[in-house]
Amino acid sequence: MGKGWCLFFLFWPIAAVVSCAMAPWIGWSFPYDNAQAASNLGIRIDGLFYLILIVTAIVFVGTQAAIVYALWRGANNREERADCVHGNHKLELVWSIIPGVILLFLAIYQMNIWADFRIKKFYPEVAVKAPIAEVTARQFEWRFRYPAIGKKLQQKPQPDDLHSVNELHVPFGKPVMIQLRSDDVQHSFFLPALRIKQDALPGLQIPVWFEANKPGTYDLVCAELCGWGHYKMKAHVIVQPEEEYQEYLKTLTEQQFYDGLGKIAATENGSESEATEK
């Protein structure tokens, strides 16, 4: 039976390494475009993840190899007896200091990324100056409030604000910031493709910034188990070139101030017969 156990413990490191290596190809890895994040910060966060993955993989493969070696030797050699070693100062020091150093290294190494991601002082100035929208999480949808074209987002709603639901448009290629709120319970603003995740708390307004590096339509999901309809709490974030984004805001303005007469961009209310000029 000893050799059976050898195979058993040999199997897991191999399976782990093979499945991790294959993950991007079979779509089990991080979302989008061959496991690459759609934001620059996201790529750096992925880098951190891979670093940790490699460190843990080396440790895992190493310890498994040691087990397999020990089992193999024991299974093949009935004469040699195992020793019971009690207390080995050197060994204890080695396995305390090495992980300690690794952890310290990781802690220092990731500080920059964390600061860029979460510490307001390090946010890109353009984004902080002009948040593009207020995002309100609500059971079970996302509501967005943009300032009127050419104006800045105000703390309180303004008469000319633009509103939409479950579809957030953001311009491409520059850092943008949103103000995150919750209307009821705790939700979480999660953009898996951009590696952005931030809890929304009732009574708080939390700034979140991100910069998409490729245009596209990305899922915005709620990452907090916020109630029965939590799994439905899904929206799209549409990253588009600046002109298209401005075009969108224009359409939204037209729709929002629609008085039932004249032409209206047929996107929102297209099926209504009044959409055509009377």
Binding-site ranges for another protein (CB under 8 A):
138-141, 143, 157-159, 163, 165-167, 228-229, 232-236, 255-262, 269, 271-274, 278
> CB-wise, 196 or 220, nearer to another protein?
220
Q: How far apart are CA 50 and CA 46, in angstroms?
A: 6
180 near Cu ion, rule: CB under 5 A: no
Structure tokens at 195: 């590696």
Q: Which does 256 bind (CB under 5 to 8 A by kind): Cu ion, another protein, none?
A: another protein
Sign of the CA dihedral running 91, 15, 34, 238: negative
Q: Which does 259 bind (CB under 5 to 8 A by kind): another protein, Cu ion, none?
A: another protein
DSSP state of 230: G
Q: For Cu ion, which residue of 180, 233, 252, 264 counts as binding (CB under 5 A)?
A: 233
> CB-wise, 173 or 270, nearer to another protein?
270
CB of 178 to another protein, least distance (A): 18
Residues 183-212 that bind Cu ion (CB under 5 A): 187
Q: How far apart are CA 196 and CA 236, in angstroms?
A: 14
CB of 40 to another protein, least distance (A): 27
Contact status, residue 117 vs residue 41, Cβ threshold 8 Å: yes
Q: Which does 226 bind (CB under 5 to 8 A by kind): another protein, Cu ion, none?
A: Cu ion
CB of 119 to Cu ion, least distance (A): 25
Range 46-53, long-range pairs (CB < 8 A, 24+ positions): 46/195, 48/106, 48/109, 48/110, 48/113, 51/106, 51/109, 52/106, 53/20
For the chain, what is the radius of gyration of the CA atoms?
27
Residues that bind Cu ion (CB under 5 A): 187, 222, 226, 233
